[in-house]
Structure 1
Amino acid sequence: MEAGVRALPARLAAAWRRSLQLRIVATSVLLSLLAMAVVGGYMSISIGASIFEQRRDEALLESVRATEAAQQVFTDAAGSSTTGELAQLQESALQAAAGFISNPALAAYAMLRTTEQVQSAVDLGDTRVRGFDDTLLTEDLVTAVAASDGTPFYQSVRLATADGTVPGLIVGTVLEVPSAGRYEFYIVHSLEEAQVTLQRMQTTMVIGGVALLALVALVTLVVVRMVVAPVEQAAATSAKLASGRLDERMAVRGDDVLARLGRSFNDMADSISSQITRLAALSNLQQRFVSDVSHELRTPLTTIRLAGDVLYDRRDTLDPVAARTAELLHTQIDRFEGMLIDLLEMSRFDAGAATLEIEPTNVVRLAETEIESVRLLAEERGSAVRLVAPGGHFDAEVDPRRIRRILQNLLGNAIDHGEGRPITVTVDSNADAVAIAVRDLGVGMTEDETGRVFDRFWRADPSRQRRTGGTGLGLAISQEDAVLHGGVLDVWSQRGEGTAFRLTIPRGGAVDAVSPIALPPEDTGAIDIVEGRA
């Protein structure tokens, strides 16, 4: 359960990245929510202020009328002078004042003698009705009311109730009591009804907002489905086309812009399908032509090889010109035969007929053998070939014939382009992969040349004198051999710094195996093959 909760953000993030509909609907809802929050907040504040101002004006008017009614009671009985008579008048005045309060049951009253006045003959004392709370009075309000000339003053307060607090107003005026002096008259008005009205309005706005958000989400989803569904269909159809199902097409209905998009997509798919079919037919024809020609040339080449070998074996009995011709014929027959072998191999790769003959192989020993086979040629060109083998799990399940052919191609290129400088063959391995790298310090290649180095029949410098190969198929075949093993053949090259090829073959079908050799490789130790020591 906890793992599922922890994985929830990752799932949501993945759904957000994958689903265009989710992003559009969520964005629309969030923007609508933001707009409604701003508008609703403004309306709530405006309506709340309007309700408060209206209730405040009503409270001030009620307080003024209540004060006038109470004052009229005292004025009409101006002859009363005893404390008892004035107390009865006070009670009558408060009852008269209550008649002008809209909800007298929720109102509290207080008549407080104003301080800082001359002591009068009669003192009614301070009177509080319905639990008037003196703590509601602030010094500023008392000072303002005491100094007023009949103008009412108010103050917002919080009134305690059984369920908490509610907003209220306390309004203060002045009463002149004959023979008793000046009294401050305070009336507390509850704004609970106004608060309830505002809360109902806000609840209605919230419910309406939620309903509106749901409507916006629904409308957006419907619109998005109308627009995105054809796009999703186009994406799915494109994936099927890419996987080789060239007969897949979009379903088109109507005449709107999305229908025109679908028809255009189908027309494009028809054109692509036609082109792919035509190119596939041409490719098959080309592969069959190369394969047939290569096989057909094997018979005359065998005859030419036999005749050439006879002439080559008897070149010592021929005149110098004929002897040289026999030698050239023998060399070119070898090149021609090598080219046919390469073409046949490429035709097998193209036809998917190439297979591996896997056997346990010590890659270091295999590299030693191939380096020894090119030792004389390397010495002739002035290049010293050395083997770097740091140590590790060198035995691997590979096709030794194909690995040997890759090494022959890489060593031949290194000798041809190494400018007579040292050539390093590095063999290393780890638990996941085995790797072989061939590094020369020759002319190197540009970035554009490096990108084309595995193209068929392409050579970096066709005019350069070559001592090995020369058909332009060696590296292409080497790459196919690497792929057949589930491995990769990488290249690094810099102008003037040389070139390095690295073959990495994973063990046991390992995925994302890290090559044990850096590119370009770094020397960590060497075995001198020229001296024949390992």
Structure 2
Amino acid sequence: MKRFNGISFKLGLLFSSIFLVLLLLLGFTLFELFSHLFVDYITQDLLKRGENHAKVLEENFNETTLTHVALMEQNVITNVVVTNQEGQILVESDPTDKEMKEYINLGNAIKISRVLNQNWDQLNYIATVSPIRNGNLGYVYMYYPTSILKEMVFVLKLFISLASIGIVLIAVGMIVILSKKMTKPLLEMKEATNEMAKGDYKQHLDVKGKDELAQLADSIQSLGEQLQYYEDTRNEFLASVSHELRTPLTYLTGYSDILIKGRIVDKQEQQTYLKIINEEAKRVTHLVNDLFDMSKIQTGQFQLKKEYVNLIKLVEKVIQNLKPVAEGKGLSILFNPMIDLPVLYLDPNRMEQVIYNLIENAIKYSDQGEIRVSLEGDKEFIFIKIEDQGIGVPEKELSRIWERFYRVEKSRARKTGGTGLGLYVVKEIVQLHGGQIEAKSVEGKGTTMIIKFKRKDVVL
């Protein structure tokens, strides 16, 4: 009997109910996020696509470009219609229906890009219009069918309804079991979770003591802080990825279009454009690889392919590849190899990725001086050190540079680019090899990255 009155038994029931309540709140939160953020994202993307088409047509308003715009929107979800100044259809990616034509009447005489309809739950399309040269040449209309959104909302509402029924039944049973003493702190926790569901993640719960209830209150507060942190980093990450992809894709599209159309005859200028395309393609590839590596790490699919590696040659290869970049900034790279370094058992591709990333970061955050790379060892460990004389990392930020999406100082991140995944992937690769990595830094003087492997793990 005493066991059934104990806090552990009550908290077992309590935790189950809170978990289900959180599921319900999460369902409503997801619905709100979907109906607002996702629809806003679709609308802005649609508006951007229309603006891009309009810019292309401003430069070349001819039958070939019109056909190209229509072909780009065929066999995809979105539709495009281009009209002249009087509203007559010049080209369309798919046949227009009655509702689509109604938007064309609304879009005439508009001078700036705008959304014609975002009321997705009542009409068949989300529609935008983008004038071509202020409407003097015509208009680009973009349409996104709302049937897909409506299907997703139906499934989401069904899930929320079923979850609500289950939670109500459990709540009735919990009211009978829980005592008044437990009700007060639990109600405080419930209010806190309600506020968290509304987006106010940081909550303060005044539950005194050291028992399980107090620990639970602390856990809820920590959960709110973590949710706030991941919400912030998620938003920063999405904005960063959008920015990082948009810039190189713009270059790739622009310069490749110029080359395809044969406007550039001078071979030297062609080589310049091809070099830009190549560099921007590498930039996109680097970003995608980081995202792919993060995904594999999170799903446990990240595997090493170890073999015997001459680490000195591997480091020399990386330095040789990055030397032009360093010299372009007036930097020098010095390499001090370990004379009697044994052949190591590592994944050569992944270790090259690690060393490349660390040296590239050293170059990125240095404006003068030199970058020193050294291989050292003792009886127990093998060390890889990368030292720069750059801007350094503030002491309060140093412990967080290994976190996913984390970037030191947002202004600095905007200047140098990146998504905050590089060092996260580096640390995971080193740890999968059984090693450790740490950073030492003095703001304004430089940073030293130290990778440490136990000899018994890498020397066979």
Given the two structures, how large is their TM-score scaled by the length of structure 2?
Answer: 0.43
Pick the structure with greater CA Rg: 1
